[in-house]
Amino acid sequence: LALYAAKAAGKRQWRRFRPPLHDRVVRRHELQERMDAIVGNGGFALRYQPVVDLATEEVVGFEALLRWPDDPRGTVPTEQFVALAEETGQIASLGAWVLRNAAAGAARLQATTSGPAPYISVNVSARQFREADFVDQVRAALDTPGLRPGSLQLELTETVLMRRDKQIDAVVQRVKDLGVRIAVDDFGTGFSGLRYLREFPVDVLKIDKSYVDDITVDTRQFALVEGIVRIARTLGLDVIAEGIETPEQWALLTSMDCRFGQGFLFARPLVPDQAAALLDGPAPGRRP
Ligand code: C2E
Ligand code: MG
Ligand code: MG
Ligand code: MG
């Protein structure tokens, strides 16, 4: 639309805007078309990042993270194409693909271990959550052969919780009734206030990486994270610290009784075989 407006406004303006705008429009269009093709032939990929018990170093679950398939022009950042898919509505088919495949991937991972079943955590975007058949998609995912009961978690952002209405509340209640756990992703970044924690049946808070980053150098940041952990405990919620990269961060989080964590210190998002290998041996990472 912006392209046509610029064109109509006259030649000079057209020239001025043309190169960047043209590239962007073409790129968007290309991404859009390729996304349809990729969803059509199942070519996306999922990586699995372990969630670790910070005290015992056991892998308790995995977060499924979507990846654009490798292509000659380099990979496309997930945040970018997920945002585009939200805009175009393609998130409906993309999100359904993720749920199906994450459930199947989790069932395979769970089959490789005799220990407690690791759960699978799936990111759900705001628009996907409002799809008419979302609950059916969740139910279908839960019916995946081999998937252990109670091992699916959905990650919602504060944006969803901020714009709550009857429809959202009903969907959350229905998926909770199916035994699905609800996590708040990127907790602390959404300007949402804390009211929903009282009214909304949330199970898990995922403390955003931006909070975790500075806890070793910034006492105010440390105090904030400690406060979040305490609030969560009081409310009976689990806490996961995201983006742990150093042994020092790990030690501080452990000292404030933050129970779970994720981050490059323990493992990057892994291909299924690597993820399975973790379940047999001890968890990676090194105690400081
Ligand atoms: P997120 O859900 O908050 O996921 C965490 C992101 O942080 C992931 O990036 C992960 O690879 C990265 N990460 C984990 N540990 C570390 C660390 O120690 N250091 C650093 N620097 N990064 C770390 P990724 O995979 O690129 O995903 C970005 C975002 O894209 C996700 O943020 C999520 O919002 C979205 N996303 C990913 N997969 C899906 C999906 O299947 N569906 C939807 N709707 N969104 C998805
Ligand atoms: Mg997430
Ligand atoms: Mg996050
Ligand atoms: Mg994020």
- Say how many Å lie between the first and final Cα of the chain, rounded: 55
What angle is formed at CA 166 by the lines to CA 130 and CA 153, rounded to 5 degrees? 55
Q: What is the mean pLDDT of residues 116-140?
A: 95
CA of 49 to the centre of ligand 3 (A): 12
Q: Which two tokens stand for residue 43?
A: 């070519």
Question: How many C-beta atoms lie closer than 10 Å to residue 253's C-beta?
Answer: 25
Confidence band for 114, pLDDT divided at 50, 70 and 90: confident
Whether pLDDT at 205 is above 60: yes
Nearest atom in ligand 1 to the alpha carbon of residue 86 is 44
Percent share of the chain, pLDDT over 90: 62
Measuring from atom 12 of ligand 1, which residue has the nearest CA? 243
For residue 7, what pLDDT is reported?
A: 45
Confidence band for 191, pLDDT divided at 50, 70 and 90: low
- Lowest average pLDDT, out of 39-43, 53-57, 281-285, goes to 281-285
Whether pLDDT at 51 is above 70: yes
Q: Is residue 65 lining ligand 1, measured as CB closer than 6 Å?
A: yes
Confidence band for 19, pLDDT divided at 50, 70 and 90: low
Candidate from 44, 67, 78 with most ligand 1 atoms within 8 A of CB, to mutate = 78
Measuring from atom 8 of ligand 1, which residue has the nearest CA? 65
CA of 22 to the centre of ligand 2 (A): 33
What is residue 39's three-state secondary structure?
helix
Whether pLDDT at 100 is above 90: yes
Q: What contacts 246, CB < 8 A, 6 or more positions away?
A: 216, 265
Which is more confidently placed, 89 or 209?
A: 209
Whether pLDDT at 274 is above 60: yes
Q: Which of the listed ranges 16-25, 63-72, 81-90, 177-186 does the model predict with the highest average pLDDT?
A: 177-186
CA 143/CA 149 separation, integer angstroms: 9
CA distances 15 to 3, 5, 202, Å, are 11, 13, 51
pLDDT in tens, 166-184: 888 999 999 999 999 999 9
Q: Is residue 165 lining ligand 1, measured as CB closer than 6 Å?
A: no
Whether pLDDT at 11 is above 50: no
CA 274/CA 237 separation, integer angstroms: 29
Confidence band for 287, pLDDT divided at 50, 70 and 90: very low
Measuring from atom 7 of ligand 1, which residue has the nearest CA? 243
The answer to whether the complex's ipTM is over 0.90 is yes
Whether pLDDT at 74 is above 90: no
For residue 181, what pLDDT is reported?
A: 98
Measuring from atom 4 of ligand 1, which residue has the nearest CA? 65
Residue 45 CA: which ligand is closest? Answer: 1
- Lowest average pLDDT, out of 32-46, 73-87, 243-257, 264-278, goes to 32-46
Q: Give the count of alpha carbons within 13 A of 282, CB side only.
A: 6
Whether pLDDT at 5 is above 50: no
Whether pLDDT at 280 is above 90: no
- Lowest average pLDDT, out of 93-97, 105-109, 187-191, goes to 187-191
